Every structure is written in C-alpha cells, then in structure tokens.
Amino acid sequence: MELDFSKIDILGSPQKPASEPKEVNHSKPLKTAKKPAEGKIEPQAQALQRKADNRQKQIEDSARVLKEYQKNKRLTNELVTEITKGVQQGADIYDLFLKAVEALAYATNDKALHKRIRDNLKAIYGIGLKEPRALELEKEDTQKRLERLLQALNNTDRVEDKERLKKAITAHQKHLKALQA
C-alpha cells in the first residue's frame, strides 16, 4: 500500500517552496541614535559605582564589628585575669560573680546583661535574703543616686523641678535607712 502526498503539495505556497531557507543579512548596522561609545555606558557606570559603594560600606561595617569584637575580647581577658587574682586573694564572691557576669556580657555582646544580673542580685540576695554584700551593693548604688539628686537640686532654678527632686531625695533617704535596719 502506497501513500499519495500529491494533495499536500498543492496546499503549499506556489511562490516559494517550504524548504527554501530565508535570507538574513547580518551585516546591517544596528539602528541606534547614539554612537557606540555613548550607548549604555552611563547606566553601567552608575551600577558599578553603586556596587563599589556597597562593597565599601560592607568593608567599613566589617571593620567596625571586628574592632568592637577585639575590644570586647581584650576586656574579657582582663576580667578573667582579675577574677583569677581575686580568687587567689580571697576577694568577695559577689564581686567575683559580677566580674564573671561582666566578662560574659562582653563575650556575648549583651550590654544589658551585667545591669540585669546586678539588679536581680541586689533585689533577691540583698533586700530579699538580707545578704550583707548584696545589701552593701544596693546601699552604694542608692548613695550614688542620692548624691546626684542633691547636686541636681543645687543646680536647678525651676520650682517644679526642685519639688520633684526633694521628693526623690526623701525617698532615697528612706530607702537608705531601710537598708541599714
């Protein structure tokens, strides 16, 4: 059995056969209003400049982070040395503990850790459990605040501010008396 494809040939275009390749002229110049040197150089230069600026910013940020890390590492090593000497000399355990927490704060870059632990230590062991050294820490802090309040009272001129400062001074003095009892 033979197939007849003659009907299909009649359907095709009579001018050009389907198998004839199209002619393409690749030698034509590109249609641009600008000269080749003026093409997309400006946007490329801007993109390269942005990349360079971003890279420079990353380098500066990395340098800043490295500098802070090195400072924290140095401070941590100094505190470890102080803790070691303190243990050998029989220093107060609360002071050594607070130095260890400070070293940990530098190592973890948690600036608020030392203050939180110190405040908790004063509240729980000092006020709550009446441990002498923790109470002493609370007294020292309260006394420092009281001195700053007294200095502020002497430096202010407004009547409203003086009244507020006097109330704060009275509260600090009562707190100091309660700690001593």
**Residue 85 CA from chain centroid, whole number:** 33
Residue 153 lies in a domain: no
Q: How confident is the model at residue 156 (pLDDT cuts 50, 70, 90)?
A: very high
Residue 77 lies in a domain: yes
Question: What confidence tens digit (pLDDT) does each residue in 132-150 have?
Answer: 989 999 999 999 999 999 9
Question: What confidence tens digit (pLDDT) does each residue in 159-175 have?
Answer: 999 999 999 999 999 99
Handedness of CA 102, 103, 104, 107 (dihedral sign): positive
Range of the domain at 64: 52-111
Angle at 77 between CA 124 and CA 98, to 5 degrees: 10
Residue 35 lies in a domain: no
Residue 4: predicted pLDDT:
73
Q: In angstroms, rounded to a whole number, what is the distance separating the alpha carbons of residues 110 and 55?
A: 28
Residues 86-90, mean pLDDT to the nearest whole number = 94
Domain total of the chain: 1
φ/ψ of 83, rounded to 5, equals -65, -45
Residue 28 lies in a domain: no
Residue 154 pLDDT greater than 90, yes or no: yes
Q: Which two tokens stand for residue 116?
A: 């939180």
DSSP letter for each residue of 28-84 = SPP--SS-GGGSSHHHHHHHHHHHHHHHHHHHHHHHHHHHHHHHHHHHHHHHHHHHH
Residue 166 lies in a domain: no
Question: What confidence tens digit (pLDDT) does each residue in 57-77 have?
Answer: 999 999 999 999 999 999 999
- Its pTM surpasses 0.85: no
Residue 82 lies in a domain: yes
Instruction: Give the closest residue to 120 by CA, choosing from 107, 140, 137, 96.
Output: 137
Question: What confidence tens digit (pLDDT) does each residue in 102-114 have?
Answer: 999 999 999 899 9
